[in-house]
Each structure stands twice: as C-alpha cells, then as structure tokens.
C-alpha cells in the first residue's frame, strides 16, 4: 500500500503507525502535508497559549531520566511563593494568554495541596473565571484531584512517559512510588472526575523501539485523551539513565521522530489539543514552529519569574531566554504569522475533543 493510501485509512493499525513513524524523504513529506491539512480542517490555524509556571523543583520522585529527581543533590531547590505565582498569573491574564499551566515537582502533602488550592481560588477570582488553568503536579490522591477541580482547575496533564510497563520499569526505581499501574490509575481518576485529561510520552528513550512509540499513540487513542504534550528525551549528566547516552538516536533523529509522532497523532485524533513542547525547542530553536506547522496547536511559553528559571532543569541545555517575556511573545507571534498561523489571545482554547465526541 502506498503511503498516500495508508494516510487515508479510517483507522491505523500498529503496523500502519510503525510504517508512518519510519517514513523518510518523500513519504515523510506526504505525512507532514497530510497532518498539516487535517489540523487546519479540524482545529484551524489558531494557536492557543498556556503561560507555563514552573512552581517548584522540589520532587519526591527519583525518575532515572529527570534532572530534578530527588537524589540529584546538585540541584538548588526552589519554590515560587504564592504571591509571586499570583502576580505571574495576573500578568498572564492581562497579556491575553487565556490559560496558564502550573507545573511542579511531585509533592504529596497537605501544605502543597492547600497552596495549590488557594492559588486556584484566587486566580479564578482575579480573572472572573475567565482564565483556563492546567495543572501538572504529578500523581495525587483522588481527594486532592477533586479538591483542585472544585477550586477551578479543569485540565490536568499527567504524562504516562511510556505506555510500555516493561520500559516504564527500566526508567523508574522499582518501588511503590514509581509504579506504572498507579500512574495509569491516576489518569483514570482524573478523567472520571471530569478533568480535560492529557498525557504524553518521551521520545527517543534508551531501549525504546518504534513499536513502543506506536503503542504509545494507540494508548492515547484508546484512553481517549483530549490533550497531549510529548517531547524528545534529552539526557542529563546527573541522572542514572545518562550511562546509556551512547545508545541513543542523534538529537536530530529524536526531533524528527517527535515531529512524526505529533503528525501521526494529529491524524489519529484530529480535534485534540497537542502542545509543541520545550524539549523540542531544546534541540532546535525553530522546532516548536515546525511542530505547529505539522500538527500541534498549543504553545506553552515559560512565564516563571526569571530568577527561578535556571533551576528547573529536567534535562540539559533547556533554553532559558535572555529576552523579556513580552519580546519572546512578540517574536513567537511573528514566527507564527510567517507560517500563516495566529495566536488565540484571551481565550481558553479548550480541547474541541472534550466538547464533541470522537469522529475518527
């Protein structure tokens, strides 16, 4: 079957996805042209913003890939204060970001739960409920998830990291805290509470095969997620997984695979929100724009107060802008205009897939 015929199939099988993820040259171009068209038709050329606040790099987990893992003693740990967080949220609201995403290292404590809760309530009050808030604060109890939902968070992003339980075990310590089944359960809980639930994976991990990546996309379809944030794995010296760095795809290959993952997911789930993530931008300055062109429709500009930014290094070479957030946004706006896109200022940009049932 030609790639063109394959692209028009109503549903992809695992071998179909493997073939598309392996596409190169002319076939890759056909894939990107098709996914770009599917995107235009279903979610238009509007790009939604989520101002990203990296609330704290204190983390109770010890994931083998992550630079802010608990055992990394070289990290200077910080927490943005409640006041500063609210100031940042107000800034986002006034600048027309429409939504913010609050991301944090994973902490399960009453103090943390209550802090997030107060931030949510005050942010809702300040914006008359207009601001969309996404939380990305890891695995929490059902009670905590419910509390935050009731206080105004309507979206939650919890990456499954990989849909393969075997691979998951290789990436995490073998204990109760780092359990694949628990992660999956947390995702189900989020969905049952009524969150717009998003997930994602890392692409180009050691031991990961293209079949694993195809399974990741099938997992997202079967779970019926409404948002996705996925990006390339980027090694970090101070992590256990670094010892496999010479087995990895090159950074450019990881970026290319990530773009193909975005494109295939867009075709499989035409009306979900897909983020062009920072990890892509780490590999190539223009990669987020490339991702937007071929299927992503959400950008998450970092608006964390500048003095904290140097400490949130999940991976190495993470870009830290030297410009002001205003200048960054203006440049982003220009780059998007150059590819025929526009930013949806002042709107939440909820996932269309959450409102309407799946069509494909």
Q: Tell me which of 3, 21, 55, 66 binds ligand 5AD, using CB under 6 A.
A: 66
Q: How far is CA 44 from CA 17, 98, 196, 213, 343, in A?
A: 24, 17, 20, 27, 11
What's the rounded Cα separation, in Å, for the pair 184 and 179? 9
Among 140-148, 169-177, 229-237, 285-293, the segment contacting ligand 5AD (CB under 6 A)? 229-237
Q: Which residue is nearest to ligand 5AD (CB)?
A: 315
Residue number with CB closer to ligand 5AD (127 or 197): 197
Q: Which of 111, 166, 171 is nearest to 144 (CA)?
A: 111
What's the rounded Cα separation, in Å, for the pair 159 and 101? 14
Residue number with CB closer to ligand 5AD (183 or 290): 183
Among 53-61, 232-240, 297-305, 346-354, the segment contacting ligand 5AD (CB under 6 A)? 232-240
Q: How far is CA 336 from CA 124, 230, 235, 290, 299, in A?
A: 29, 20, 29, 10, 11
Cα 56 vs. chain centroid, distance in angstroms?
17
Residue number with CB closer to ligand 5AD (75 or 279): 279
Q: Tell me which of 202, 225, 257, 329 binds ligand 5AD, using CB under 6 A.
A: 202
The answer to whether residues 201 and 230 touch, using CB atoms and an 8 Å cutoff, is: yes
Q: Tell me which of 180, 195, 233, 354 binds ligand 5AD, using CB under 6 A.
A: 233
Which helix or strand (DSSP H or E) is residue 187 part of? helix 180-193
The answer to whether residues 118 and 152 touch, using CB atoms and an 8 Å cutoff, is: no
Taking the complex as a whole, the smallest distance from the CB of residue 168 to ligand 5AD amounts, in Å, to 12
User: Quick check: 279 binds ligand 5AD (CB under 6 A)?
Assistant: yes
User: Quick check: 64 binds ligand 5AD (CB under 6 A)?
Assistant: no
Among 7-15, 50-58, 74-82, 230-238, the segment contacting ligand 5AD (CB under 6 A)? 230-238
Residue number with CB closer to ligand 5AD (62 or 333): 62
What's the rounded Cα separation, in Å, for the pair 59 and 137? 10
Taking the complex as a whole, the smallest distance from the CB of residue 308 to ligand 5AD amounts, in Å, to 15
User: Quick check: 216 binds ligand 5AD (CB under 6 A)?
Assistant: no
How many residues bind ligand 5AD (CB under 6 A)? The answer is 12
Q: Which residues contact 95 (CB under 8 A, 6 or more apart)?
A: 51, 325, 326, 329
Longest dimension (CA), the chain: 58
Among 181-189, 227-235, 298-306, 327-335, the segment contacting ligand 5AD (CB under 6 A)? 227-235
What's the rounded Cα separation, in Å, for the pair 321 and 302? 9
User: Quick check: 47 binds ligand 5AD (CB under 6 A)?
Assistant: no
Residue number with CB closer to ligand 5AD (237 or 306): 237
Site string for ligand 5AD, 234-263 (x = CB under 6 A): x-x---------------------------
Taking the complex as a whole, the smallest distance from the CB of residue 314 to ligand 5AD amounts, in Å, to 4
The answer to whether residues 3 and 32 touch, using CB atoms and an 8 Å cutoff, is: no
Degrees, nearest 5: CA angle 34-47-251: 65
What's the rounded Cα separation, in Å, for the pair 136 and 156? 6
- The interface with ligand 5AD within residues 298-317 (CB under 6 A) comprises 314-315
- Helical spans, DSSP H, in 194-297: 210-223, 251-268, 278-283, 287-294
Q: Tell me which residues touch ligand 5AD (CB under 6 A).
A: 65-66, 159, 161, 202, 231, 233-234, 236, 279, 314-315
């Amino acid at each position: 079957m030609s790639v063109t015929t394959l692209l028009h199939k109503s549903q992809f099988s695992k071998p179909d996805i493997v073939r598309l993820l392996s596409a190169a040259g002319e076939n890759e171009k056909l894939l990107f042209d098709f996914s770009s068209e599917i995107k235009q038709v279903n979610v238009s050329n509007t790009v939604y913003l989520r101002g990203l606040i990296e609330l704290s790099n204190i983390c109770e987990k010890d994931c083998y890939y992550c630079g802010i893992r608990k055992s990394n003693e070289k990290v200077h740990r910080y927490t943005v204060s409640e006041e500063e967080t609210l100031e940042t949220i107000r800034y986002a609201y006034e600048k027309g970001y429409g939504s913010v995403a609050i991301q944090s290292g994973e902490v399960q404590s009453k103090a943390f739960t209550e802090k997030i809760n107060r931030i949510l309530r005050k942010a809702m009050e300040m914006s008359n409920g207009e601001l969309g808030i996404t939380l990305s604060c890891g695995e929490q109890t059902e009670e905590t998830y419910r509390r935050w939902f009731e206080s105004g968070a309507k979206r939650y992003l919890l990456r499954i990291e990989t849909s393969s339980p075997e691979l998951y075990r290789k990436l995490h310590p073998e204990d109760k805290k780092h359990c694949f089944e628990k992660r999956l359960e947390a995702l189900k809980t989020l969905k049952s509470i009524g969150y717009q639930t998003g997930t994602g994976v890392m692409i180009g991990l050691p031991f990961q095969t293209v079949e694993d990546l195809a399974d990741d996309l099938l997992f997202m379809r079967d779970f019926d997620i409404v948002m996705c944030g996925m990006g390339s794995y980027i090694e970090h010296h101070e992590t256990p997984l670094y010892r496999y760095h010479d087995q990895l795809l090159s950074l450019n290959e990881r970026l290319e695979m990530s773009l193909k993952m975005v494109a295939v997911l867009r075709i499989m789930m035409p009306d979900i929100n897909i983020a062009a993530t920072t990890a892509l931008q780490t590999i190539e300055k223009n990669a987020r724009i490339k991702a937007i062109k071929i299927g992503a429709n959400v950008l998450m500009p970092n608006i964390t107060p500048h003095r904290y930014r140097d400490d949130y290094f999940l991976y190495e070479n993470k870009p830290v802008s030297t410009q002001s957030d205003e200048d960054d946004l203006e440049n982003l706006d220009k780059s998007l205009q150059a590819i025929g896109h526009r930013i949806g200022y002042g709107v939440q940009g909820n996932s269309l897939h959450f409102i309407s049932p799946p069509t494909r």
